[in-house]
Chains A and B, each alone.
Chain A
Amino acid sequence: MKKLISIFVLLVSFAFTSNSYSKTEIHWWYGNSGFLGDVIIEIANRFNESQDEYMVIPTGKGSYEDNMAATIAAFRAGDQPHYSQVYDAGAAIMVAQVKNGVVIGFEEMAEKYGIDVDADNYIPGIKNFYADGDGKMIGVPFNSSTCLMYANMDILNEVGIEEVPKTYEEFEGMAQKILDAGYIPLLQSHSPWIWTENFFSRHNLLMTDGNNGYDAVPTKTLFAETEAFVYHWTKVKEWYEKGYYGYKGRAWGDNQAPFTNGEAAFWFGSAASFGGMKGVLPNFTTNPIPYWDSVTGGKEYPTFIGGAANWILNGHTEEEYKGLAKFIEFMGSPEMDLYYHNMTGYAAVTKGGIELAETINFYRASPYHKAVGDQLGLEGSTIPGGYRAGNWPQIREVIYENVEPMLNGDITVEKALSNMDKGAEKLLKQFAKTL
């Protein structure tokens, strides 16, 4: 009995000592892996070293989809993290959850805990993408990318092309030359994101009804009825048949690999892709994605923000939210913003970060980083800077499912696009029922 009591006393004293030393823990879940995941851990470490009260614990959950599913499952089990990274396609779902008390909007949080970072401090395009219908910023912008064109300059020099194409017409004109020299002219890694969503934004065209879902809950996509979109895919199919465009399946990496290995002249990927290419491919550039001159009449429009934002989840203590507010402030500082921009290639998301980049002449030292800001900073669009459409992860799946039979000739382009519309319409209606 004495022994038992002493064990008990020992345990209790342990509990107290560990308590008095422990910091307030803030859990941050993310959906990046590899190098990008390492940078996230580094950010948390830097924050933890910068002060003693709070401790941010980052946990990688796999891919964006995995992290979103894990966050939702955790919420339903009452065990959600404080802060979670959710990607562009899930933004509509997260914004819709403010009214259910799942998500705390950034502006509400800033007001309550006095975050020194104003929503207006974030650049407008990015801010609007993660805002609700009233323009109040809900998600906290984090890794913001867009699709860019990577060009292998060695191949272009070899075949005697001096300038990278600005338009698809220019690309079409040079593709045969590249093909004749034994290279794949073009590859791209994400048909729904690059050649669907951002086809519409790049050409200033509406993708769904309800003003891309900003004015009303969307009920259908405008794929088959948008002439330019039909034209684009007809051309893509033609290119595929001629060998101008190579399709390597759905996996991002399988499409990127030939480019990284110097077998392809152009590749469309994310602004954050160059990290893995630097030092592997000797001479490449990042450029804005081409557009159809015939569609826009020579004008260029900005693409949507890709990547992800961090979302504040409800159900934790005041003390923890204070710590999270400190962390958000820390991440929103110009130094951290530029650090992240520099490390990953994601866009700088705060005005402070951009100013800092200009003051230190950052882009002269690292021209890779410039294209993303240039393309996102374009003006003149009449469409919203994003889309608010639910069930979008599944709609992306529907798009993928129809691209392949279209390329291999099982169905026509018109049929594929109308299939996409039909699939999307059903999913949009299904989502509308849950609102």
Chain B
Amino acid sequence: MKKVQFKSNYSQYFFLAPQLLILLIFLYWPIIQTFKDAFTMQDAFGFGSQFAGFDNFLFIFSDPSYFTAFKFTIIYSFVITLITGSIGLLLAVQANKVMHGKSAYKTLLIWPYAIAPAVVGVMANYFFSERYGLLHHLFNNLWGFNWYENVFDAYIYVIIAGSWKQISANFIFFLAGLQAIQKTVIEASIIDCKSNIRRFWTITFPLLMPTTFFLIIINITYAFFDTFGIIDTTTIGAPGSETKTLVYKAYIDGFKGLDLGSAGAQSIMMMIIVLVITIFQFRYIEGKIHYN
């Protein structure tokens, strides 16, 4: 192996500098600011700032709506991951079988991925509007749907709104995953086993595991952070605070309520939660996955 040796000891820093600078300004500096906010008590304009220790954390832990948001975020990310993953997989498997007009199907199924969450929320708003919403009328005829006051109905509203777009993301990755599986493996399995379904679960799906694992992380992150725009344009957290995600609550408290201390503490809690989830995933789930 031939080693490339640079003469200068400093040129590498020069080339790294732009990237490091971006990281510093857009990542580390805000994180440091967040820590500062979380451990101080200050008014909206940043005056009267004083060290508050863990007061802001105690404040959010004594807030029942924080736990409601916590509970909702967990339920929401679980359901969204499940729904978008399974529907995305189903669509990908079906689209993979299609012989004619394959790219037309693909394009149409990928399209929603390009739509911003806030726009998805506005569209969902039409579907669930009491006045002219198709889905509202459908569900209302089925069981008396009323998301203004019924928690379960509000869940359905934000879950449908939140899943729709993300199904496309799942579809596109699953499809790519399916196409990456070697034809020889599939052909060999057809000789051994007649059942389509069994073949799928014993051969295809295990081979898709890296994709699935990747998508689980992507979906959870999506439900945690990117659904903000959807919540803001659909239920705004109602009824009660039952459909507030943790991010949305931090936003409401920080930007609408102008309480930066509490919002900072909530951000740090979120950082810890994401850290725990990621460690858990990489330690316990990834170990069971075989990459090709």
Q: How far is the CB of B34 from chain A (nearest CB, A)?
A: 15
Partner of A400, one of B63, B131, B238: B238
A235 within 8 A of B: no
A250 within 8 A of B: yes
Report Cα–Cα, A410/B150, bound state, in Å. Answer: 10
Q: Which residues of A sit under 8 angstroms from B258, Cβ to Cβ?
A: 68-69, 72, 90, 93, 391, 393
- Pick the interface stretch among B2-10, B41-49, B180-188, B269-277: B41-49
A408 within 8 A of B: yes
A97 within 8 A of B: yes
A229-275, CB < 8 A from B: 247-251, 254, 257-258, 261
User: Do A100 and B47 have beta carbons less than 8 Å apart?
Assistant: yes
User: Do B148 and A435 have beta carbons less than 8 Å apart?
Assistant: no
Known: A69-B256, A93-B258. A250 touches B45 (CB 8 A): no
Q: Which residues of B sit under 8 angstroms from A47, Cβ to Cβ?
A: none
Q: Which residues of B sit under 8 angstroms from A251, Cβ to Cβ?
A: 236
- Nearest chain A residue, comparing its CB with the CB of B257: A394
Partner of A394, one of B41, B47, B50, B259: B259
User: Do B240 and A393 have beta carbons less than 8 Å apart?
Assistant: no
0/1 per residue, B22-38, Cβ < 8 Å to A? 00000000000000000
Known: A69-B258, A393-B256, A426-B59. A102 touches B45 (CB 8 A): yes
Q: How far is the CB of A66 from chain B (nearest CB, A)?
A: 8
Report Cα–Cα, A435/B45, bound state, in Å. Answer: 11
Report Cα–Cα, A427/B45, bound state, in Å. Answer: 17
Q: Which residues of A sit under 8 angstroms from B253, Cβ to Cβ?
A: 394
Question: Number of contacting residues on A, CB 8 A?
Answer: 43
- Nearest chain A residue, comparing its CB with the CB of B41: A433
Partner of B239, one of A102, A254, A394, A405: A405
A377-414, CB < 8 A from B: 391, 393-394, 397-398, 400-402, 404-405, 407-408, 410
User: Do A250 and B238 have beta carbons less than 8 Å apart?
Assistant: yes
A96 within 8 A of B: yes
Partner of B48, one of A90, A248, A434: A434
B252 within 8 A of A: yes
Report Cα–Cα, A90/B255, bound state, in Å. Answer: 12
Known: A69-B255, A397-B256, A426-B59. A404 touches B47 (CB 8 A): no
8 nearest A-B pairs in the assembled complex, by CB-CB distance = A394-B257, A404-B239, A408-B149, A434-B43, A249-B148, A100-B47, A65-B256, A69-B255
Q: List 26 A-B contacts (CB under 8 A).
A: A93-B43, A93-B44, A100-B48, A248-B148, A254-B130, A261-B131, A391-B259, A393-B256, A393-B258, A394-B252, A394-B253, A394-B257, A397-B252, A397-B257, A401-B240, A402-B240, A405-B239, A407-B149, A408-B239, A430-B41, A430-B59, A430-B259, A430-B261, A433-B52, A434-B41, A435-B43
